[in-house]
DNA sequence: GGCTCCATGTAACAGGTTACATGATTGG
DNA sequence: CCAATCATGTAACCTGTTACATGGAGCC
């Protein structure tokens, strides 16, 4: 259903951007829930331009570097809002390779399982710290980000959701590790 | 990295199955974290057979329906265990279309946002109930599922993880909806 | 001059979905 | 006998990743 299309339209509804700028956004907090490589972004920009949902101006950087700065058109805004309003069903599957391994825990011995789980716990804990640091920076730079009418509210929500998602994962990993460690053969 | 390959090997490490049986597993609790359509499963089974990781016997159902019952080979078991042991990095992105919309909340008006969030809250709440019912059935049928040495332990872990994931989502949705509703223009 | 980052593109391949296609079994 | 389910496959298409490819800008 071409979600990347809407990700691009949504970004351009906030401010004009180059393809390169969009890639940067996908590496930032938005990237917790959606991302794309530049090799996917550029062809999509070309297509959206042909469809009339976006337009670009050429800006000259320095002496001769030409960059394409994209803006959303009125047709693009209509398209974006149609998608934003639509109440889709929640997906049945959210792919998670670690949980697939977990499903097969009976194929592992106790030591292997403990190693796998403690590594995952370590990685997820690091991620929580990284995300909390991002949230601190955001709320220090713009304390109004926590209110609905701030332009940064979406950014704030994505960070808080990502933090709570990871914290929930961490709690479950700790609880499960205790069960594994206490089941000495 | 051919995760479906390992999903199939993992399932066959528990018991012999037909491609159709595997599809059923992906529609069940495992499907919370991994799934595949039959159109992807059958070609993968063919490939895994060619690679020597699995084998099949033909069983006759009724008068003449031939079904292929697959088993994992020793080579397949080695391949599976290599993957199970490997400690990969956690993914940067877990795609979530609803959270992408959330990032663009400043493009919506307050009423639209409230509608979107309350619908999502409703759907996620229903999912929690469905998952809790599945967990009840599992623990009633096999109370030992909660211990490491049960063959159902993986099943139990996947369900508890899915339940906590959805509950965390629900809590965040409720909290965010309160902020949206209390921000009357 | 050289390194990092900015900036844009294409090609080949891998993974995954939808649609097309067929036929047997089981149970009411 | 009819419907739901069991059972297996292919083809076309879409999405997304990795690799290939190029060149300018900014800074030390």
Give the C-alpha separation, B160 to B135, whole Å.
8
Give the C-alpha separation, A109 to B149, whole Å.
10
| pLDDT for the residue B79 | 98
Give the C-alpha separation, A55 to B108, whole Å.
22
Instruction: Indicate the helix (H) or strand (E) that contains A149.
Output: none
Which fold would CATH assign to domain A3-85? Arc Repressor Mutant, subunit A (1.10.10)
Q: Which residue is nearest to nucleotide C17 (CA to C1')?
A: B37
- Which are the contacts of A71, defined by CB distance < 8 A and separation ≥ 6? A12, A16, A54, A55, A56, A57
| pLDDT for the residue A150 | 97
The pLDDT confidence band at residue B184, using thresholds 50, 70 and 90, is confident
Whether A56 and A68 have beta carbons less than 8 Å apart is answered as yes
Q: How far is the CA of A140 from the C1' of D3 (A)?
A: 64
Mean pLDDT across B24-49:
98
The pLDDT confidence band at residue B122, using thresholds 50, 70 and 90, is very high
Task: Please give the DSSP secondary-structure letter assigned to residue B145.
Answer: G
Q: SS in 3 state form for A35-102?
A: CCCHHHHHHHHHHHHHCCCEEEEEEEECCCEEEEEEEECHHHHHHHHHHHHCCCCCCCCCCCHHHHHH
- Chosen for mutation from A15, A17, A90, A156 (greatest number of chain B CBs closer than 10 Å) is A90
| pLDDT for the residue A4 | 98
| pLDDT for the residue A184 | 78
Q: Which nucleotides of D are covered by protein (CB under 7 A)?
A: 6-12, 14-20, 23-26
- Chosen for mutation from B25, B33, B171 (greatest number of chain A CBs closer than 10 Å) is B33
The rounded percent of chain B whose pLDDT value lies above 90 is 98
Q: Is the CB of B36 under 7 A from strand C?
A: yes
Ordered per-residue pLDDT tens for chain A, 185 residues: 999 999 999 999 999 999 999 999 999 999 999 999 999 999 999 999 999 999 999 999 999 999 999 999 999 999 999 999 999 999 999 999 999 999 999 999 999 999 999 999 999 999 999 999 999 999 999 999 999 999 999 999 999 999 999 999 999 999 999 999 998 76
Nucleotide nearest to A91 (CA to C1'): C17
Instruction: Kindly tell me if the per-residue pLDDT of B10 is higher than 90.
Output: yes
Q: Which nucleotides of C are covered by protein (CB under 7 A)?
A: 6-12, 14-20, 23-26
| pLDDT for the residue B56 | 98
Q: Which of A38, A1, A43 is nearest to A22 (CA)?
A: A38
Count of beta carbons in the 10 Å neighbourhood of residue A65: 8
Tens digit of pLDDT for each residue in B132-163?
999 999 999 999 999 999 999 999 999 999 99
| pLDDT for the residue A21 | 98
Give the C-alpha separation, A35 to A26, whole Å.
5
Q: How far is the CA of B35 from the C1' of C25 (A)?
A: 26
């Amino acid at each position: 259903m071409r979600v990347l299309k809407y990700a691009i339209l949504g970004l351009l509804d906030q401010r004009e951007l180059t393809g390169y700028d969009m890639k940067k956004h996908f590496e930032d907090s938005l990237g917790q829930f959606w991302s794309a490589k530049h090799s996917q972004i550029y062809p999509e920009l070309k297509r959206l331009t042909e469809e009339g949902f976006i337009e670009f101006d050429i800006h000259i950087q320095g002496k001769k570097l030409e960059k394409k700065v994209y803006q959303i058109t009125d047709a693009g805004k209509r398209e974006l809002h149609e998608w934003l309003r639509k109440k889709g069903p929640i997906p049945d599957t959210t792919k998670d390779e670690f949980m697939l391994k977990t499903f097969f825990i009976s194929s592992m011995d106790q030591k292997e399982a403990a190693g796998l789980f403690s590594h995952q716990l370590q990685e997820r804990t690091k991620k929580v710290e990284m995300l909390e640091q991002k949230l601190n920076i955001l709320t220090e730079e713009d304390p109004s980000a926590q209110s609905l009418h701030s332009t940064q509210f979406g950014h704030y929500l994505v960070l808080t959701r990502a933090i709570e998602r990871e914290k929930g994962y961490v709690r479950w990993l700790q609880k499960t590790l205790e069960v594994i460690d206490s089941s000495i053969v």
